[in-house]
Amino acid sequence: MKGCGALSSRHPVSWTQRHRLGQIRSESDAGVYRSHHPSVALRIRGDLQTVALERAWIRLQERHPVLRCGFDLSHFTWRLDAPAAAAGIILADSEPDETAGSAVGRMERLVDAPFDFEQGPLARLILLRRQEEDLFALVLDHLVGDFWSLDLLMSDLTTLYADELGLPTDPLPPVSLPYPDQVRQQNAYLDSAAGLRALDVLSESLKTVGPVPETRFEGFSGEIHAGYDRTGLVRATFGSGLTSAVFASARSYRMTPWTLIHAALHRALYALSDQQSIGTTLMTANRESTSVHQTVGFLASKVVVATWRDDQAGTAEFLRGFQRSVMNALDFTAIPWPRLIAHMEPSALGCHAKVPYISFNPQNSTMRRWLGGWRFTGCEAAPLDLAGSTPDAAVVISLTEVEADIEVSLYHRTDWYPAEAVEKLWKATEQTLREWVGEAGFADEAP
């Protein structure tokens, strides 16, 4: 038997969970709270059957019992032996004279509300019923899930909902490697001789930038600390012309378009700083193995991509070097980022970042199915934009492939970088890309 009921004792957590638990405990000691909740938020129009949805939601929690299991914050262990009962839907009805904007604000508060980290559950389903539409949110704490997990949960939920309506459905795929088993395997590897050797090699390769690479480019405020309640957002789009040129030139450079954009970011950082080495973190899903394709858990992590200044390098040489840096980083995805932090900077484990670092998060069209890509039977769904969690990095650059364009969201902690500095960084990145696609012989439609 697998899942929560398989163990009679408390389960050692993963390094990623340990890092998050440390953050939670330090926040609790300081009397503050910062939500870190991946979520799917939708506007739903149509005859959504609440009773059938709640039955499907309960079945979903039974299929993925990690959603119901809390943690011992004193000993950093996972309470797999004591799952909470499956929770019902959090239902709310529109209040008299409530505007659309205030309804969305109420949803944000419900999404961001704290979980009971010790007793569980660590997931919630929220439905705010309004006359013209329902506002829906499926919310996890990062301790038990990531954005891939949300895609799985939504796929399962919509299938179970159709089944509850009595419609024919295909059987859900088996969960071949539940998250607790994956954590056991990962911890065993990290404690092995091979895992320790890999950790030493990775640490040596990053000794000039560190596991949390401090990056100070033009416009940095100089502040020692940055508050999490002061977050800004800069938005941009590539446009169809530049998008097409980037994809075409990336093929000519024999790299992915996301790697080309990431390289342009590094080049821009060298232009806007005097640093001799640059490190940025790259988000990874860690789902290469088919054994975890149906696993709900916090498998996503980061790798550090490090480069060194060479102002004399031409475009082709710089890109070859950057490509090698990315490949070297991805060779070590079996080492969770928090394990690297614990090895290189033990005092930073379980803490929010105390230095400004930059995180690069590309999401192609197939990775963004959760943005309104599912349908509840008999209903229409569209994305609901919520404020979301505050970033740990000084700047989080999220790129989303949408049809023939790329949308860019740059979340930044304003105590460290004002909007003007972030806008200048992105303009420098975009200008670098335009130069590179021009050198490759591909024009774009920009003036």
> What are the pLDDT digits (tens) for 224-281?
988 877 889 999 999 999 999 999 999 999 999 999 999 999 999 999 999 999 999 9
Structure tokens at 69: 């299991």
pLDDT of residue 8: 43
CA distance 300 to 287: 8
Which tens digits make up the pLDDT trace of 19-70?
999 999 988 888 878 888 999 999 999 999 999 999 999 999 999 999 999 9
Average pLDDT rounded to a whole number, residues 325-346: 97
Residue 373 has pLDDT above 90, yes or no: no
C-alpha distances out from residue 209 to 99, 278, 338, Å? 49, 7, 16
The set of residues, in sequence order, having a beta carbon less than 8 Å from that of 356 and lying 6+ positions away, is 214, 215, 216, 220, 226, 393, 394, 395, 413, 416, 417
Reference 292, options 328, 333, 329, 259; nearest CA is 333
Q: Which pLDDT band, with edges at 50, 70 and 90, does 420 fall under?
A: very high
Say what the alpha-carbon torsion angle 110, 115, 119, 124 is, to the nearest 10 degrees. Answer: 50
| pLDDT mean across residues, the chain | 92
* Sign of CA pseudo-dihedral 373, 379, 383, 386: negative
Q: Is 166 helix (H, G, I), strand (E, B) or coil?
A: coil
Q: What is the CA radius of gyration of the chain?
A: 22
pLDDT of residue 142: 95
Reference 402, options 232, 260, 235; nearest CA is 235
Structure tokens at 282: 């790259």
Give the distance from CA 30 to its chain's centroid: 25
My answer on whether omega of the bond before 257 falls inside 30° of 0, hence cis, is: no
CA distance 326 to 311: 20
Residue 341 has pLDDT above 90, yes or no: yes
Residue 334 has pLDDT above 80, yes or no: yes
Which tens digits make up the pLDDT trace of 153-192?
999 999 999 999 999 999 999 999 999 999 999 999 999 9
